[in-house]
Chains A and B, each alone.
Chain A
């Protein structure tokens, strides 16, 4: 019995060191001396990040929600985050030729303020990690627009060793825009479809993500081997 417990502890320690292996130095537990000379332990993964699970915020009053959804749809703030070759299709949207400002589509440079993330093309495993972190840092309600064939079934990278094939295994996608690459017009049409969906109250991706959190996390961790961040990134 005692031997078993010792083995268990060994296994646990091994698992921990396996997880710690990927941690950056600044994220490891350490002793810090404060300005007043008091020593205290800092565990960045616990102290600097919040590991609270996401919660669902169900829409409440139907009429109010309809009005709010209209406002949300007409004010889409797109995160300036390019993942694949499709990221080059986004800047022309704000040029005189396509002028997405007409439709209430605006760029934001920070995930905190944006409501739409455009997965613009293939996602390598490395980028997937960043995309997940970014998606989780956005404030709900948030929407995902997946651009290009690579996000649907892998496209021309379907058998690549380090790109994922379907984005909606890892985050809830609201709208797909097919093509390789879709032109900016197609992306604009995608934004307008997304607006329709939001107005109908069907774009509840953030809630879906919170409800199916375990499933999404399992999928993500299956792909990302060096998972060195908290499970939920605020």
Chain B
């Protein structure tokens, strides 16, 4: 049930963001139901070919990463049902799951054998490694601040008005994490990994039909659960679905907003960018609490 809501909200959110980008470019853009149609079409393709076992497993691992984050992430604070399987150390587990999907995808796309996917993987993994640094530092910082690794307890500590949010109580960690979010969502300044509309499409070059359908499904889930992770850690969590939808939308919108304003970085620019200001802020956020 939770997964169903998350999936459909992810698709709708993705379509809305594409519409926003289109409006910025003075276009009408796709109809809001386009992602569902694409998904139906991909799953309904009559033929598909494989390049080997790992080629099959790549999208499965990726989906495993997305659903894994979903499983251990409390979506709605105070709801036993929508807290999923969150437990004491879920924050570390979720950080792990973020990398898990990337690595599975790297192996699968590597077996596809297309040079463009290899380039995409190289770019993706090197960018993701630097993105993780400020994010992990921010997570360490708030773990020190709240003295816990349980997302549920972190959310509980932020209840009672926005003056208790991590955004206010620990602005440095929030800033570092929000910078790394730009890289996580891979919108415009940092979208060289997939480089849409260019000749190389990155890791999924060889993926098609149902394989790509699985990847797209995961993309929708992943966007929502990562936004939900940031919502839980820095913006006080959500006590009902309306709040959840508003907050995840605004968090996603932050990356799109930056994306429509700034042009695309080259990969070495992106990597060095993350290693400068966001990393410095992250280190500062940790030092304060030591």
Contacts of B48 in A (CB 8 A): 139
| Contact with B44, one of A71, A106, A107 (Cβ below 8 angstroms) | A71
Stretch binding the partner chain, chosen from B30-38, B70-78, B241-249? B30-38
Contacts of A72 in B (CB 8 A): 41, 44
Q: A110-B201, A112-B207 given as contacts; is B45 within 8 A of A141 (CB)?
A: yes
Which DSSP category, helix, strand, loop or mixed, fits chain B's interface?
loop
Contacts of B116 in A (CB 8 A): 110
Contacts of B208 in A (CB 8 A): 112-113, 139
Please report the C-alpha to C-alpha distance between residue A108 and residue B45 in the assembled complex, in whole angstroms: 16
Do B44 and A68 touch across chains, with their CB atoms under 8 A apart?
A: yes
Contacts of B31 in A (CB 8 A): 102, 104
* A interface size (C-beta, 8 A): 28
Q: Which residue of B lies closest to A72 (CB)?
A: B41
- Indicate whether A115 reaches chain B with its CB closer than 8 angstroms: yes
- Indicate whether A109 reaches chain B with its CB closer than 8 angstroms: yes
User: What is the distance, in angstroms, from A189's C-beta to the closest C-beta of chain B?
Assistant: 18
Contacts of B266 in A (CB 8 A): none
Do B201 and A101 touch across chains, with their CB atoms under 8 A apart?
A: no
Interface string of A197-234 (1 = CB under 8 A from B): 00000000010000000000000000000000000001
- Indicate whether A80 reaches chain B with its CB closer than 8 angstroms: yes
Do B29 and A102 touch across chains, with their CB atoms under 8 A apart?
A: yes
| Contact with A140, one of B29, B47, B201, B207 (Cβ below 8 angstroms) | B47
Contacts of A68 in B (CB 8 A): 40-41, 44
Please report the C-alpha to C-alpha distance between residue A107 and residue B44 in the assembled complex, in whole angstroms: 19
Do A109 and B45 touch across chains, with their CB atoms under 8 A apart?
A: no
User: What is the distance, in angstroms, from B153's C-beta to the closest C-beta of chain A?
Assistant: 43
Do B207 and A109 touch across chains, with their CB atoms under 8 A apart?
A: no
* B interface size (C-beta, 8 A): 33
| Contact with B37, one of A57, A96, A104 (Cβ below 8 angstroms) | A104
Q: Which residue of A lies closest to B36 (CB)?
A: A71
User: What is the distance, in angstroms, from A99's C-beta to the closest C-beta of chain B?
Assistant: 5
- Indicate whether A83 reaches chain B with its CB closer than 8 angstroms: no
Do B37 and A110 touch across chains, with their CB atoms under 8 A apart?
A: no
Contacts of A108 in B (CB 8 A): 201
| Contact with A101, one of B28, B207, B212 (Cβ below 8 angstroms) | B28
Q: A112-B205, A113-B208 given as contacts; is B27 within 8 A of A71 (CB)?
A: no
Q: Which residue of B lies closest to A105 (CB)?
A: B30
Q: A68-B44, A139-B48 given as contacts; is B27 within 8 A of A109 (CB)?
A: no
Do A75 and B34 touch across chains, with their CB atoms under 8 A apart?
A: yes
User: What is the distance, in angstroms, from B217's C-beta to the closest C-beta of chain A?
Assistant: 15
Please report the C-alpha to C-alpha distance between residue A3 and residue B39 in the assembled complex, in whole angstroms: 63
Please report the C-alpha to C-alpha distance between residue A80 and residue B196 in the assembled complex, in whole angstroms: 12
Contacts of A140 in B (CB 8 A): 45-47
- Indicate whether B25 reaches chain A with its CB closer than 8 angstroms: yes
Do B205 and A101 touch across chains, with their CB atoms under 8 A apart?
A: no
Contacts of B49 in A (CB 8 A): 50, 139, 234
Contacts of A20 in B (CB 8 A): none
Contacts of A234 in B (CB 8 A): 49
B:175-205 near A, CB below 8 Å: 197-201, 204-205
- Indicate whether A89 reaches chain B with its CB closer than 8 angstroms: no
Q: Which residue of A lies closest to B29 (CB)?
A: A101
Do B40 and A57 touch across chains, with their CB atoms under 8 A apart?
A: no
- Indicate whether A196 reaches chain B with its CB closer than 8 angstroms: no
Do A99 and B38 touch across chains, with their CB atoms under 8 A apart?
A: no
| Contact with A110, one of B26, B34, B205 (Cβ below 8 angstroms) | B205
Please report the C-alpha to C-alpha distance between residue A99 and residue B28 in the assembled complex, in whole angstroms: 7
User: What is the distance, in angstroms, from A111's C-beta to the closest C-beta of chain B?
Assistant: 9
- Indicate whether B16 reaches chain A with its CB closer than 8 angstroms: no
Do B201 and A109 touch across chains, with their CB atoms under 8 A apart?
A: yes
- Indicate whether B3 reaches chain A with its CB closer than 8 angstroms: no
- Indicate whether B169 reaches chain A with its CB closer than 8 angstroms: no
Q: A68-B40, A140-B45, A140-B46 given as contacts; is B34 within 8 A of A104 (CB)?
A: yes
Lowest 4 CB-CB distances: which A-B pairs, in order? Answer: A112-B208, A57-B46, A71-B40, A96-B26
Q: Would you mind naming 13 contact pairs between A and B with Cβ atoms under 8 Å apart?
A: A57-B47, A71-B37, A72-B41, A74-B34, A80-B199, A101-B30, A104-B30, A108-B201, A109-B205, A113-B204, A115-B41, A140-B47, A141-B45
- Chain A: residues with CB nearer than 8 A to chain B? 50, 57, 67-68, 71-72, 74-75, 80, 95-96, 99, 101-102, 104, 106-110, 112-113, 115, 139-141, 206, 234
- Chain B: residues with CB nearer than 8 A to chain A? 22, 25-31, 34, 37-38, 40-41, 44-49, 114, 116, 197-201, 204-209, 212
